[in-house]
Amino acid sequence: MDPRRLQFLLELSRQGSMRAVADELGHTTSTVSQQLAQLTREAGTALYEPDGRRVRLTPAGRRLAEHAVTVLAALDAARADLDPHAEPAGTVRVGGFATAIRRSLVPTLARLAREHPAVRLRVLEHEPPEALAALAADAVDLALVYDYDLAPAALDPTVDRVPLWQAPWGLGVPARAARGVRGATAPELLRRFADHEWIVNSRHVADEDVVRTIAAVAGVEPVVGHRADSLELVQDLVVAGLGVGLLPLDQPPRPGVAVLALRRPGVLLRAHAVTRRGRDSWAPLRLVRALLADDGAG
């Protein structure tokens, strides 16, 4: 049913005449009569009947008018929700990797609570491939993903990407093995630890791609022995002597782990906020993405 016709019926229940409805809504009496006749055909039952010089709703008409109140109110709420100039309101679903959630999303949550309490976030922890798949399936509205400068991610052309921040990564090794190798270039480090197994991400191949890129320059073949999702677990495995792996340089390692800077080439992790193209017309999503970008730039 056309909601405009429901508006005519609702006004008829209030005004009691076609002419009064026409005056109230700014239409001709003929237009009101035609629209209500069409609504009657759509409903499949009589909605109003003559009552002297006026008309009154039938029981079916009164019931439909009651529904019209709910339907028209919901449409008004939807218009307000989608109005790009209105105060943002709604729930934004965000899927992202743990570091970005802690570094970018948690501060944004606090800022939203202070400045835009009508906008809420639903947070789902995902590695980039999972977050992008959820975005494509419309299971999240915004994906927080990362890649490395040495292994840039090729994203689908149907999405938009906003850079957030970047952080240097290094080689995590047992602290006892770091003596005498600080200051070495990245290829030199890979040759130095060529007999160690590698610990890589179990849910994403970006760090493995970086390792293989540097290894190709160093002329060595890395052996992947372990896969772990948690950076804490990677460090536990390093301490246990089970291998080496990439770790962030801007975070203090746990005791027993040393993170060696990678130079020539260096390794930068780059965080991005990704949305489906055209979705930023929704005010809450546009706001959240802007806040994330502002925090990343700061």
What is the domain partition of the chain in residue ranges?
A: 3-82, 90-165+270-296, 166-268
Instruction: Tell me the mean pLDDT in the region 46-70.
Output: 91
> Around Cβ 178, how many Cβ atoms within 10 Å?
16
**SS3 (DSSP) at 29:** helix
Q: Name which of 49-63, 71-85, 173-187, 211-225 the model is least confident about.
A: 71-85
Q: To which residue do tokens 């995902």 refer? A: 126
| Cα angle for residues 231, 233, 239 (degrees, 5° grid) | 105
Instruction: Tell me the mean pLDDT in the region 39-43.
Output: 93
| Cα angle for residues 179, 230, 298 (degrees, 5° grid) | 85
Distance CA 170, CA 49 (A): 81
Mean residue pLDDT across the chain: 92
Helix, strand and coil in the chain, % to nearest 5:
45, 25, 30
> Around Cβ 216, how many Cβ atoms within 10 Å?
13
State which amino acid sits at residue 285.
Answer: L
Fold match flag (3-82 vs 90-165+270-296): no
Question: Which pLDDT score is estimated for 77?
Answer: 75
Provide CATH code, domain 3-82: 1.10.10.10
CATH T-level assignment (fold) for domain 166-268: D-Maltodextrin-Binding Protein; domain 2 (3.40.190)
Instruction: Tell me the mean pLDDT in the region 11-27.
Output: 90
Tokens matching residue 225: 């022995």
Question: Which pLDDT score is estimated for 29?
Answer: 92
Read off the DSSP letter of residue 197: E
Question: Which pLDDT score is estimated for 298?
Answer: 53
Say if CB 169 and CB 250 are below 8 A apart. Answer: no
Distance CA 164, CA 30 (A): 58
Q: How does 123-161 read in b/e, with b if 16+ C-beta sit within 10 Å?
A: beebbbebbbebbeeeebbbbbbbbbebbebebeeebbe
CATH T-level assignment (fold) for domain 90-165+270-296: D-Maltodextrin-Binding Protein; domain 2 (3.40.190)
Write the pLDDT tens digit of every residue in 122-180. Answer: 999 999 999 999 999 999 999 999 999 999 999 988 999 999 999 999 999 999 999 88
Say if CB 185 and CB 161 are below 8 A apart. Answer: no
Position 296 confidence tier, pLDDT thresholds 50, 70, 90: low
Write the pLDDT tens digit of every residue in 168-205. Answer: 999 999 999 998 898 899 999 999 999 999 999 999 99
Distance CA 232, CA 252 (A): 11
